[in-house]
A and B are shown apart, each in its own frame.
Chain A
Amino acid sequence: MTKTFIVKNLDCAHCAEKMERAINKIKGVNEASITFMTQKLFLDADDDRFDEIVEEARKAVKKIDGDEVDLTEV
């Protein structure tokens, strides 16, 4: 399944890079790509674990750039 999310309050380009790498490491993620300028996360991950993966991704981005960062589905 593929979905696009907005990464709210993403304002550091370097962090976007780190987040992208962190999310790609989550088990079940086929491809994750964050575009800093449009603040978008494109996530392609396994269907049966998709919601869990999104939760893990949310934790990962918060860990990197603080609590005000969040994922919302487009």
Chain B
Amino acid sequence: MKKKDLIKVIVSFLILVIGMILENGIINLETVFNVSVAVASNTILVIFVLAYIIIGGEVLKTAAVNILHGQIFDENFLMTIATIGAFLVGEYPEAVAVMLFYQIGEMFQSYAVNRSRRSISELMDIKPETANLKNDDGTIITKKPEDIKTGDIIIIKPGEKVPLDGIVISGSGDIDTSALTGESIPRFVEADSELISGSISLNSMLEMKVTKEYKESTVAKILELVENASSRKSRSEKFISKFARYYTPIVVILAIALALIPTLISGFSLEVFKVWGYRACSFLVISCPCALVISVPLSFFGGIGGASSHGVLVKGSNYMETLSKVSHIVCDKTGTLTEGNFKVTKIDSVNCSDMELLIAAAKAEKNSNHPIAKSLLNELKAYSEEEYTKVINAVNNAKITEFAGYGIKYEDQEDIIFAGNSKLMDKENIEYKSVDSVGSVVYVARNGNILGSIVIEDIIKEDTKEAIEKLKSMGIKLIMLTGDKKEIAKNVAEKIGIDEVYSELLPQDKVSKVNNLLENKEKTDAIVFVGDGINDAPVLAGADVGIAMGGLGSDAAIEAADIVIMDDKFTGVSKAVLIAKKTVRIVKENIVFALGVKIAILILAAFGIANMWMAVFADVGVAFIAILNALRAMKLKEI
């Protein structure tokens, strides 16, 4: 807010008050100063004109300039006509007040817009300014992140932002990723951990190797996305700008008709013209569509900004609008609802310790690249680092044979180990206790004797269930698509409360399932697809709204999706839906409220019931309330 403008408002307001005191005879000029009636009334007029010029001078000037540019329906011009009209019919205080409130409204508008622009840029204050490059000789120089190349070594000091994506070489400590993900719990990193640009090293000095140039980095991608977010306009925004285009001319034409027709009918009676002219001026005051034009994009902008502070990036207000109408959420299983990495969930050893069983399994599986083998090795590592290293570094002439669809045979000087499914055990005539599990079961036998079984499952993300309950309570139907086996799919779906499951699907089946839903949906519904961005780009692009999970690190996801959830949690989806619904509700409230009040006052003014004071409220007051309402979209504490 400019100080100069504020002073103008205050001075003009005080003069207006003085004028009104004199006009209403609270202080009577004639008796106090002993002047004639004419001098007194002229003095009062001069006082009002003075107040008017102080507050409205700028508007008058702009109106004149714009008229020369051919801008007829310019709001400055309309305000000028309305207020001059009010002066002509003798309503001086009204004329000044209209100008005064109009200016206050303008000031408030620009204050609100600037504030929300600022708070959103603060929200997205993730751009790193510098990077500390470590040269080969050990010296450190400060450079711009843009000047760092892949393979360079950089140093991150405690409290500093990570300027580029990379891998930690030395040092360990806590990393704050809240600016990117909205996740407040710090993440621990050590050598070989990935570091994402835009996060902050809280308490330690880290040395990292850069893996991506700045313009390819996470932070650059996010900034680009957020800054271009609102260029895709929503239907409400398009409606409002179209509406604004016709609203002003129509109201102005009505005002002209209102001023002229009764006067013509009455045979140019000045009295009639005064009455209807005043009503016409009230029309002009209401003719500006500002409240609507500003509050709709302001709400969407606030909603998008609020969402990004929760780690949900929305690429445009159109997606926000569509998401608010979501009826079905279709999601991929692996990586979206589940962690996507397998873990040992049950160890059942017979005639030996769990450790012995694990060592035997690890020996057999150590050269395999299958996720199940990896999870076995990880489990052993968690049990005992020492045994793990022993297995990995064992130098013997072990012979490992893989039987596709069965499992693995391992042979060294001492033992023969079989690790695989029940079919392998049957084939080798080994007796075993069958395990009934939805996960993958690995049976392990040594020298003809069963050692036990190990169950490996994909873990459901901890907050998935909670998010799904929230979504279902909003009346949204959840559908899961997966390439996985039927039993596994069904089990996961039951655990988290998914409504419909389609399993054993190939990638192209997923596309046709979603297309099928899209074809059969109601017009007012929206089909949302949630995936992790890997292998599901066509579905992400095809759905009404595509949401990608785990935006950190996955370029493909950021590119293909309409909404990106930065952390890996399914609650991001429920948050996104809640924010979208709230934002769109605010937009609707504003449209209905602002239009309703304006039309009501227009009708009342036409019949002479509403005066110019009410017209000013319909213009400035409504804008004020609509903007305050719009600013609510940014605040989402309760989610």
Residues of A near any B CB (own CB < 8 A): 4, 11-14, 17-18, 21, 33, 35-40, 42, 63-64, 66
Contact with A33, one of B231, B244, B294, B298 (Cβ below 8 angstroms): B231
Q: Which of B199-242 contact A (CB under 8 A)?
A: 227-231, 233, 241
Contact A66 B298 (CB under 8 A): no
Contact A33 B227 (CB under 8 A): no
With A37-B117, A40-B231 already in contact, the answer to whether A13 and B294 are too (CB < 8 A) is: yes
A42 and B229 CA atoms in complex are apart in Å by 12
Interface centre among B229, B241, B245, B298 (most CB of A within 10 A): B241
On chain B, the residues within 8 Å of A36 by CB distance are 113, 294, 297
A35 and B315 CA atoms in complex are apart in Å by 13
Interface residues of B: mostly helix, strand, loop or mixed? Answer: helix
On chain A, the residues within 8 Å of B116 by CB distance are 37
On chain A, the residues within 8 Å of B65 by CB distance are 66
Contact with A63, one of B69, B228, B230, B245 (Cβ below 8 angstroms): B69
Contact A14 B290 (CB under 8 A): yes
Contact A33 B233 (CB under 8 A): yes
Contact with B231, one of A11, A42, A63, A64 (Cβ below 8 angstroms): A42
Q: Is the CB of B389 closer than 8 A to any CB of chain A? A: no
CB distance from A51 to the nearest CB of B (A): 22
Contact with A13, one of B227, B229, B245, B293 (Cβ below 8 angstroms): B293
CB distance from B454 to the nearest CB of A (A): 54
CB distance from A43 to the nearest CB of B (A): 11
Interface residues of A: mostly helix, strand, loop or mixed? Answer: mixed
Contact A13 B297 (CB under 8 A): yes
Q: Is the CB of B301 closer than 8 A to any CB of chain A? A: yes
Contact B110 A38 (CB under 8 A): no
Contact B298 A37 (CB under 8 A): yes
Contact A17 B231 (CB under 8 A): no
CB distance from B488 to the nearest CB of A (A): 46
Number of interface residues of B (CB under 8 A): 28
A64 and B300 CA atoms in complex are apart in Å by 25
On chain B, the residues within 8 Å of A4 by CB distance are 228
With A13-B293, A14-B290, A17-B245 already in contact, the answer to whether A35 and B75 are too (CB < 8 A) is: no
Contact A38 B230 (CB under 8 A): yes
A-contact 0/1 string along B107-145, CB 8 Å cutoff = 001100100110000000000000000000000000000
On chain A, the residues within 8 Å of B301 by CB distance are 37-38
With A33-B233, A40-B231 already in contact, the answer to whether A11 and B110 are too (CB < 8 A) is: yes
Contact with A17, one of B71, B75, B227, B244 (Cβ below 8 angstroms): B244
Closest Cβ neighbor of B61 among chain A residues: A66
Closest Cβ neighbor of A42 among chain B residues: B231
Contact A14 B231 (CB under 8 A): no
With A17-B241, A63-B69 already in contact, the answer to whether A35 and B293 are too (CB < 8 A) is: no
CB distance from B425 to the nearest CB of A (A): 63
28 sample A-B contacts, Cβ–Cβ < 8 Å, listed by A number: A11-B109, A11-B113, A13-B290, A13-B293, A13-B294, A13-B297, A14-B75, A14-B244, A14-B288, A14-B294, A17-B245, A18-B71, A33-B231, A35-B230, A35-B233, A35-B297, A36-B294, A37-B230, A37-B298, A37-B301, A38-B117, A38-B230, A38-B231, A39-B117, A40-B228, A64-B71, A66-B62, A66-B65
Q: Which of B70-121 contact A (CB under 8 A)?
A: 71, 75, 109-110, 113, 116-117
Closest Cβ neighbor of B294 among chain A residues: A13
Contact with B289, one of A14, A39, A66 (Cβ below 8 angstroms): A14
Closest Cβ neighbor of B117 among chain A residues: A37
A36 and B301 CA atoms in complex are apart in Å by 10
A14 and B113 CA atoms in complex are apart in Å by 13
Q: Which of B282-312 contact A (CB under 8 A)?
A: 288-290, 293-294, 297-298, 300-301
On chain A, the residues within 8 Å of B228 by CB distance are 4, 40, 42
Other CB < 8 Å A-B pairs besides A14-B244, A36-B294, A40-B231, 10 of them?
Answer: A13-B294, A13-B297, A14-B288, A17-B241, A33-B231, A35-B230, A36-B297, A37-B230, A38-B117, A64-B69
CB distance from A33 to the nearest CB of B (A): 6
